Amino acid sequence: MKTVILLLLGISLTAGAQTNQNNKVPALGINLEGYSYPYPVHFHLLESQGQPLRMAYMHQKTSKARKGTVVLMHGKNFNGAYWGETMKYLLDSGYDVFVPDQIGFGKSTKPDHYHYTFQQLALNTKSIIDSLGIRKVVVLGHSMGGMLATRYALMFPEQVEKLILENPIGLEDWKLKVPYQPVESWYRSELKKTYEGLKKYMLTSYYDNKWRPEYDPWLNLSAAVLDSPDYPRYAWNAALTYDMIFTQPVRHEFRFLKVPTVLIIGQRDKTALGKDLVSEAVAKTMGNYATLDQEVAQEIPNSRLLELEGIGHLPHIENFPLFKEHLSKALEK
């Protein structure tokens, strides 16, 4: 049925759909086959929405006196691999660490069809955590992972000891300002991506137009799937998750959080979904993290706000020593 619907819309998820030729980095399959994560990757099999799926994850136990387990949730344009340095710090600090790739991301399955909701992703994640016998967790989410982490804490407050949000998207409800875009529109945008376009986006959106060599691995990893014959399926999943983000805001539910919450917010961040779809005047009112973080911190019961001056959307990549300092404060009892 899904294939029939997509063909009626003029969309194909098979090899042969238009993709971008990219010769800057070696090509990878859409499940990052052959790419090594910073720690061993395991796979959890689950049945979801009538189909068998595989979720990839890293689970490392500390060799120090154990303080607990931290779950790290990745952002929209990333996967679990970019948490490597954070994982090492947490392990050295006495925490076990669990890092999943959500369905549609990293080494996990990219389905031909899937109804993406933050609730579904939270359930998928909890199924692995429960299978590992982990009873209590600290949940740290970055960017889209912040929206998922918030949903997880709302759904399972009895399991979450603390919620830490690192520059989460979803501090505002973009539906109030941005016209709705059908999934096909997001899909067409994904098919147009190039190495140069990805680098320009990261340079301006993440790194304040100041590129450093240590950013190359995350650019290269994003670009490596562009030439895969399965890239249209990857792009379709990316489009579905954009729709999830846009249509499922958490902004109005922060006040219902029942767990201690810490916001770690880079103050230079201006990330907002759909800025390019509105007038310049409206765009200027979106993604103002330096104001939004204070508004949200006032709404969340039992919350703390840790602001990082001069840092953008990716604190743990842009300035890990500074991020580590604030993460240490966030983890304090």
Using the predicted structure, report yes or no on whether residue 19 has a pLDDT greater than 70. Answer: no
User: Quick one: angle between helices 231-247 and 183-191, nearest 10?
Assistant: 140
Q: What is the pLDDT of residue 30?
A: 98
For residue 106, pLDDT over 70 is answered with yes
Asked if the model's pLDDT at residue 222 lies above 60, the reply is yes
Work out whether strand 137-143 and strand 68-73 pair parallel, antiparallel, or are unpaired. parallel
Mean pLDDT across the stretch 217-245? Answer: 97
Q: Given pLDDT bands bounded at 50, 70 and 90, which one contains residue 41?
A: very high
Rounded distance, CA 80 to CA 86, Å? 11
Smallest CA-to-CA distance from 148 within 55, 238, 248 is with 248
CA distance readout (Å), 42 to 55, 121, 128, 170: 8, 18, 11, 30
pLDDT exceeds cutoff 70 at 283: yes
Q: Walk me through the domains of the chain, giving residue ranges and CATH numbers.
A: 35-178+250-331 (3.40.50.1820)
- Is the pLDDT assigned to residue 21 strictly greater than 90? no
Q: What is the pLDDT of residue 15?
A: 43
Q: What is the pLDDT of residues 121-151, one digit of tens each?
A: 999 999 999 999 999 999 999 999 999 999 9
Q: What is the pLDDT of residues 69-98, one digit of tens each?
A: 999 999 999 999 999 999 999 999 999 999
DSSP states of 278-291 = S-HHHHTTS--HHH
What's the pTM? Answer: 0.94
